[in-house]
Structure 1
Amino acid sequence: MLKTVHMAVFDTFSDWEVGHATAHINRELWQREPGTWQVKTVGRTADPITSMGGMRLLPDLTLAELRPADSAMLLLPGGSTWEAGELADFEEKAGEFLAAGVPVAAICGATFGLARAGLLDDRRHTSNDPGYLSMSGYSGLDHYDKTETAVTDGDLITATGTRPADFARAVFERLGLYEPHVLAAWYQLYGDNDGAGFYTLAQYEQQRAAAAR
């Protein structure tokens, strides 16, 4: 059965913050169950959007069409419009997902939106800085974790915008995308910039190919 991770897209979304996560969800290599995952983009409308990096794309579906029951996770990238309150409909959808027990993963500015919506008031979380989230007027500062760059609390993942690999690792772990030792090797390569992780991943794929013969 194909599992779908949905990613919010809107003008100015920070494409690099979700690049690791989306690329490796779509990429079968090293996955525990290759061929069972896909990413679909969700726009407020069906109109083309332009990312902060200048990439133009057409959403796969609209926000009104998105149902938690059809999704494995909702990814919320940062962008320059969260602080202005222009993405309240995505904040509302995130609340629907969490209420339905479907994970939500937010990075950078998206954490500001969730804070303003009250979704971080009672959940352990992180972001770019405690002072940044305080500007949202939220009441969850006591649950802010300054020690981690990505935090998972049940069905909610939050991360600072400067650590997209840490965000991706938390997403993969919550989805069960990789075996634990494979995830560790993935982060060794992409998070720690340690080439030894590549050889562990290559060996894993070779062993799996040999077992399939």
Structure 2
Amino acid sequence: MLPITIVITDGYSDWEIAPLSGLGRAFFGAPIHFASPEGGALHSAAGLHIADTARFQAPDRGVVVVCGGPALEQGESVALTRQLQAAHAQGCIIAGICGGTLALAHAGLLQHVQHTSNAPGYLDQHAPAYSGTIRYVDQPQAIRDGAIITAPAPAPASFAVEVLVAAGGDRTAVSVIQQLLAKEHFG
């Protein structure tokens, strides 16, 4: 399986990556690494303290995941934008959930692919350079279009499946994540 780098920011929405990071590593052996745009200490939205994170540098292969969080709604991180563009240019698959889709919009990665996010207008509101509205799909599940994966906040299960498949996981095997989590709501 290809390496998966999850980029988190201070206040990151920990529930958005829980199925991917927890189930992905524990049940599917996914090689998952964490980083942040500047490196250093962070807190999750739930208050989990992380003493240190590596500074995010564009890998030359694998999947780069940007987790949502309020820091991403505060404007563009030039360092993150450059690293995402470099990772994409090197052939990495780039994924964003919730506010993580803003980082993809700032990096110009959503103009030519179908994508989703939190709601129509969310990307326009928070990423002034975003110009992919015509390709926006308003749906509650993750979307993969080529080397780009996007998802709204309440879609961590379908997001986990798409990321793990992109990393080389078998779709039938990893789809169990979505099936298990759906049982609570749909029997």
Range of TM-score over shorter length: 0.7 to 0.9
Match of 1:141 in 2: 133
After the TM superposition, list the runs of 4 or more consecutive aligned residues in structure 1 that deviate by more than 3 angstroms: 191-196
Q: Secondary structure at the match of 2:73?
A: coil
State the shift of 1:171 in Å.
0.9
Q: Which whole-Å deviations, capped at 9, do the CAs of 1:78-106 have from their partners, x for residues lacking one? A: 01011211533222211111111111110
Is 1:185 aligned to 2:184, yes or no? no
TM-score, normalised relative to structure 1: 0.78
CA distance in 2, matches of 1:5, 1:47: 19
Contact 1:4 1:38 in 2 (8 A): yes
DSSP 3-state at the match of 2:12: coil
2:107 to 112, 117, 122: 117
- C-alpha distance in 2, partners of 1:166/1:16? 13
Distance 1:170 1:132 in 2: 22
Superposed counterparts of 1:17-96, under 5 Å? 17-27=16-26, 29=27, 31=28, 34=29, 37-63=30-56, 66-69=57-60, 71-85=61-75, 87-96=77-86
Question: 1:148 and 1:49, CA in 2 relative to 1: closer, same or farther beyond 3 A?
Answer: closer
- Counterpart check, 1:172 vs 2:164: yes
Within 5 A, what are the aligned runs for 1:98-113?
A: 98-113=88-103
Query: Rg bigger for which structure?
Result: 1
By how many angstroms is 1:194 displaced? 7.7
CA contact (8 A) 2:23 2:177 kept: no
TM-score (normalizing by structure 2):
0.87
* CA–CA separation in structure 2 for the residues paired with 1:106 and 1:95: 13
Q: Quick one: which amino acid aligns to residue 185 of structure 1?
A: V
Any stretches of 5+ residues in structure 2 without a counterpart?
none
Determine what percentage of the aligned residue pairs are the same residue. 28
Q: Per the alignment, do residues 181 and 117 of structure 1 end up closer, same or farther by CA in structure 2, a change over 3 Å counting?
A: closer
Higher relative contact order (CA 8 A, sep 6+): 2
